[in-house]
Amino acid sequence: MKEFICTVCPRGCRLKVDEVTLNVTGNSCPKGTEYGKNEATNPLRILTSTVLIEGAIHRRLPVRTDKPIPKDKLFDCMKTIHTYKEKSPVKAGQILIKDLAGTGANLITSREM
């Protein structure tokens, strides 16, 4: 039995998910059922970080993935991001790295700089 706190709505229900049957209990709404099943089988996260930028007013540029990526790929993605450098100027939403670490998600800028 796995336990999660649902983050879909502000209630923060304490979910319990049976790993064999994927039966979800503790949810107050149907969204909690879907969230619990996804967390137990294939947890996904939006990755947020920063990269080095040259020629800008700040030294680091905030970035994020354009869609959720598998939780077990986060460290592989961070290894790639850690070595990446960009040059100013950049636009908000600009793609820096396509298909980040084979996840199918793009690394995009979070602001102009």
**Same domain flag for 52 and 105:** yes
Task: List beta partners, residue 25.
Answer: 16
**Same domain flag for 22 and 69:** no
* CATH number of the domain that residue 103 is part of: 3.10.530.10
pTM of the full predicted structure? 0.84
Q: Are strands 24-25 and 14-17 parallel, antiparallel or unpaired?
A: antiparallel
**Same domain flag for 66 and 105:** yes
Give pLDDT tens digits for 44-91: 999 999 999 999 999 999 999 999 999 999 999 999 999 999 999 999
> For the chain, how many structural domains are there in total?
2
**For residue 102, what pLDDT is reported?**
95
**Same domain flag for 32 and 74:** no
Cα separation, 35 vs 8, whole angstroms: 7
**Same domain flag for 100 and 68:** yes
Q: Which domain holds residue 15?
A: 2-41
Is residue 91 within 8 Å of residue 84, measured between CB atoms? no
Is residue 24 within 8 Å of residue 15, measured between CB atoms? yes
Residues 15-29, mean pLDDT to the nearest whole number? 94
